[in-house]
Structure 1
Amino acid sequence: MRPILHVPAGALAALVTLIALAGGSCGGGSSTPSGPTPPTAPPTVTNTITITSAGASPRDIQIAVGTRVLFINDDSRAHNMSSDPHPEHTDCPELNQVGLLAPGQRRETGNLTSPRTCRFHDHDLPSDTRLLGRIIIQ
């Protein structure tokens, strides 16, 4: 028969606590990698103007303040979309970020942050009424 081991109660409690802590830190961790949180995506574009051989469509849109507009060139030729007035392009500089679009290209305006009406045109065809339009920011 084996002798009974006498362990003081405080030592036994410390041993149980140590085992519980060691067991809790082993394995079972999350499989997702840790690291910095990726930056949030820019606001989604909720409005699109498509350019075809028939012109810009729609020619007039209404958007909320802070929204951007996506211009898509589905025409077979390039278009240089700019803010009015021609040739200064100073009314809505955010529209000038669209600039020259080759066939098949798409590009967003900057954030349109103040209520107003922004008129646009094709810089290379400023009098072509099919390529004139308005973005009404409310």
Structure 2
Amino acid sequence: MKYKTLKLAALTAAFIILGAGCSSTQTPAPPAATGPQPTTVAITLNPQGLDKKEVTIKVGDLVEFRNSDLKAHSPASDPHPSHTAYPEFDAKGGLKPGDTWTFKFEKAGTWKFHDHAAAKDKKFQGVVIVK
């Protein structure tokens, strides 16, 4: 009888150990993002002006402004100096040479912009069309 009990206890322990070894405590991976991911379009400000005067994007997309000029620039929505067409679209503080600033467009529309630091300079005026 003792032998049967000992054998049964050993088998039970083996199953418990095997079961514990086979179980997983890892957290499942989060589900993949659904829907389209935002696109980023770059506009470079250089001594010659904007490398793109007009870009067309979708609501939720991003525009990255890159300053590759030797002087500071400050992209902002029209009209100057109030920037009221799209008040959030304003790189307050500006971009020093080498800086970048990224803005996410959450509103559909045709958004004209300028360089606040050189508002009358047409080579630093452009438009972002958001569909």
Q: Distance in 2 between matches of 1:119 and 1:131?
A: 11
Q: Percent identity?
A: 31
| Alpha-carbon shift at residue 121 of structure 1 (Å) | 0.5
| Alpha-carbon shift at residue 57 of structure 1 (Å) | 1.5
Aligned to 2:53: 59
CA contact (8 A) 2:74 2:91 kept: no
| Alpha-carbon shift at residue 93 of structure 1 (Å) | 2.5
| Alpha-carbon shift at residue 26 of structure 1 (Å) | 5.2
CA contact (8 A) 1:118 1:134 kept: yes
User: 1:102-117, aligned counterparts within 5 Å?
Assistant: 102-109=96-103, 111-117=104-110
| Alpha-carbon shift at residue 6 of structure 1 (Å) | 3.8
TM superposition outliers: structure 1 runs of 4+ over 6 Å:
none
User: 1:1-138, aligned counterparts within 5 Å?
Assistant: 6-7=3-4, 12=8, 15-25=10-20, 45-97=39-91, 99-109=93-103, 111-138=104-131
**RMSD between aligned residues:** 3.1
Q: Distance in 2 between matches of 1:6 and 1:16?
A: 12
Structure 2 residue runs without a partner (length 5+): none
TM-score (norm 1): 0.74
| Alpha-carbon shift at residue 25 of structure 1 (Å) | 3.2
Larger radius of gyration: 1
CA contact (8 A) 1:98 1:107 kept: no
Structure 1 residue runs without a partner (length 5+): none
**1:127 alignment partner, SS class:** coil
Shift of the 98–117 alpha-carbon distance from structure 1 to 2, 3 Å rule, reads farther
| Alpha-carbon shift at residue 20 of structure 1 (Å) | 2.0
Deviations 1:17-63 (A, max 9, x none): 32222244359x89x9x8xx8xx9xx665201000000012010000
Q: Distance in 2 between matches of 1:82 and 1:117?
A: 14
**What letter is aligned with 1:82?**
A
**What letter is aligned with 2:57?**
I
Q: Distance in 1 between matches of 2:91 and 2:11?
A: 66
